[in-house]
């Protein structure tokens, strides 16, 4: 977070109070990042509104520029501008789609999470982050290189947000339920699964300085447990990773970050491993 020099803030013209701008100001106030305000609108001229916002922000001491753009779709426009401006974070208000629309079309915010090369903060709440819980979701049982890089990213960002908001970092990790069909006897018994998982967690806790009180290990599917824990802890922000599948498989296989987005009552920061970000950047810059 501290390394982010420029933040892209997506302004929703129909919503007078911009929740995205409120969060971006909080982050920029601590990191001194530049704010680039973007309105995605192919039909109406929003220059007057952007001028008013810019003047107010400049008066408050922020570094700010504004832009109105449109390129085929909302997520494409945002990614185009993020790349052109070199923004290290996209902040956007999340407005959930109806169940019917979601069943027929992939939501724009899902597409943004899949294809955007930078971290994305989707804002859902207006309340303060101060003194609240920041919940980082990790998969301790997955220790391949990509997931390890993701764990470092998630915990680092979790600590950063907790620090800038004067909040408290908690971590959740879900482990699988017993599977009698598993070839490995370790995964057939609840006790052995939990014991093995807790052992992996000990190493994880030592590496990231997470004590037992701030670590929540639960059995079951992540897309059920994460919203449950967000609600239980009244978390203000959920920090979660995605491996950002693209193409057909991405459309068919629900990603946990996408599935929990409408199920949690918190803001959601979605991160990707550096190698995935690099790949998406290549794709974004192809002619």
pTM greater than 0.95: no
CA-closest candidate to residue 41, choices 68, 11, 21: 68
pLDDT of res. 101? 64
Across the strands, what pairs with 218? 174
* Domains and their CATH numbers in the chain: 6-93 (3.40.50.620), 133-284 (3.40.50.12370)
pLDDT of res. 182? 46
pLDDT of res. 187? 47
- How deeply is 148 buried, as exposed, middle or buried, from its count of CB atoms within 10 A (0-12, 13-18, 19+)? middle
- HEC profile of 24-36: HHHHHHHHCCEEE
Residue-by-residue pLDDT tens, the chain, 287 positions? 778 999 999 999 887 678 999 999 999 999 999 999 999 999 999 999 999 999 999 999 999 999 999 999 999 999 999 999 999 999 999 987 666 666 666 788 988 988 899 999 999 999 999 999 999 999 887 767 777 888 899 999 999 999 999 999 999 988 766 544 444 554 455 566 677 777 888 888 998 999 999 999 888 888 899 999 999 999 999 999 886 555 434 443 457 888 888 899 999 999 987 777 777 888 878 76
């Amino acid at each position: 977070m501290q390394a982010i020099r420029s933040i892209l803030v997506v302004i929703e013209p129909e919503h007078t109070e911009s929740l995205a701008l409120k969060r971006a100001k909080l982050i920029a106030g601590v990191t001194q990042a530049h704010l680039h305000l973007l309105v995605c609108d192919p039909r109406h001229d929003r220059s007057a509104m952007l001028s008013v916002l810019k003047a107010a922000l400049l008066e408050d001491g922020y570094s700010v520029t504004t832009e109105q753009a449109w390129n085929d779709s909302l997520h494409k426009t945002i990614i185009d501008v993020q790349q052109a401006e070199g923004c290290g974070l996209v902040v956007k208000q999340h407005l959930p789609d109806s169940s019917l629309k979601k069943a027929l079309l992939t939501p724009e915010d899902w597409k943004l999470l899949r294809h955007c090369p930078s971290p994305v903060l989707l804002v859902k709440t207006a309340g303060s982050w101060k003194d609240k819980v920041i919940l980082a979701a990790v998969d301790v049982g997955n220790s391949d290189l990509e997931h390890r890089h993701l764990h470092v990213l998630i915990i680092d960002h979790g600590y950063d947000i907790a620090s800038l908001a004067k909040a408290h970092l908690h971590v959740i990790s879900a482990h699988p339920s017993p599977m009698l069909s598993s070839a490995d006897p370790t995964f057939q018994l609840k006790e052995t699964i939990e014991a093995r998982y807790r052992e992996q967690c000990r190493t994880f806790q030592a590496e990231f300085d997470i004590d037992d009180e701030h670590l929540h290990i639960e059995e079951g599917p992540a897309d059920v447990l994460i919203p449950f824990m967000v609600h239980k802890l009244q978390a203000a922000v959920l920090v979660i990773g995605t491996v950002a599948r693209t193409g057909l498989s991405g459309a068919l296989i629900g990603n946990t970050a996408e599935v929990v987005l409408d199920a949690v009552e918190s803001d959601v920061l979605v991160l990707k491993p550096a190698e995935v970000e690099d790949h998406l950047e290549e794709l974004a810059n192809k002619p």
